[in-house]
Amino acid sequence: MKRAVKLLLGGKALEVEANGHLLRSARCELRVPEVIRLKNFVRVPYKEVSFCRKNVLLRDGGVCQYCGREFRFEDLTVDHVVPLSRGGADQWNNVVAACKDCNRKKGNQLPDEAGMMLLRRPGAPRSATFLQVARHHGRSRDVWKKYLFYES
Ligand SMILES: [Zn+2]
């Protein structure tokens, strides 16, 4: 929000939607922006998504990659498809979000051995992932939905 206000005051962005609150200072009053539009297109620099638990869960959308059910992040684990103890790597293409039940059931086995199937083959998130991340964070904000490509 701070950044959005700076961009508005600097004339770099236009307000699209406000949330009904006001910011007051000695000199001015500003509606608190909820959605802004940059006046100029800004290329988002390519940045590799860092490899960590939270980003693995975000990449998989909070969905267990074995049973397909959605969980809160605290109820998910990061499963190594090929277990570390069997030479699996600690890398994007070998980790998936898994619920505790599925992780327990799979144990130290390969998916095949456990009779489990992955919803999709894991990989490093592409640049489009930042949109996915934004969608995940934005899904509780009604006003953002139409900008984050949710169906109404
Ligand atoms: Zn599961």
Q: Are residues 38 and 23 in the same domain?
A: yes
Q: What is the residue type of 132?
A: Q
**Whether 111 and 36 share a structural domain:** no
CA of 120 to the centre of ligand 1 (A): 14
- The total of structural domains in the chain comes to 2
Beta bridge partners of 99: 76
Measure the CA–CA gap between 61 and 55, rounded to whole angstroms: 9
Rounded to the nearest angstrom, the distance between the alpha carbon of 142 and the centre of ligand 1 is 28
Q: Give me the domain span that covers residue 14.
A: 1-42
> What is the pLDDT, as a whole number, of residue 82?
97
Which CATH number characterizes residue 77's domain?
A: 1.10.30
The reply to whether 108 and 36 lie within a common domain is no
Where does residue 28 rank: exposed (0-12), middle (13-18), buried (19+ CB within 10 A)? Answer: exposed
Residue 150 and residue 105 share a domain:
yes
67 with 129, same domain: the answer is: yes
> Cα(47) to centroid of ligand 1, in Å?
30
Do 88 and 146 belong to one domain? yes
Nearest one of 69, 62, 22, 87 to 78, comparing CA atoms: 62
Does one domain contain both 58 and 27? no
* Ordered per-residue pLDDT tens for the chain, 152 residues: 889 999 999 999 999 999 889 988 888 888 999 999 999 877 766 667 789 998 899 889 899 999 999 999 999 999 999 999 999 999 999 999 999 999 999 999 999 999 999 999 999 886 555 566 666 767 777 777 777 655 54
At 9 the three-state DSSP class reads helix
Are 36 and 55 members of one domain?
A: no
For residue 68, the CA-to-ligand 1 centroid distance in Å is 6
Q: Are 31 and 53 contained in the same domain?
A: no
Pair (34, 98) in one structural domain: no
In the reported structure, the alpha carbon of residue 39 is separated from the centroid of ligand 1 by a whole-number distance in angstroms of: 44
CA 106 / ligand 1 centre spacing (Å): 10
Asked whether residue 83 falls in the same domain as residue 129, the answer is: yes
Q: How far does residue 89's CA lie from ligand 1's centre (Å)?
A: 21
Q: Compute the distance from residue 53 Cα to the ligand 1 centre, in Å.
A: 16
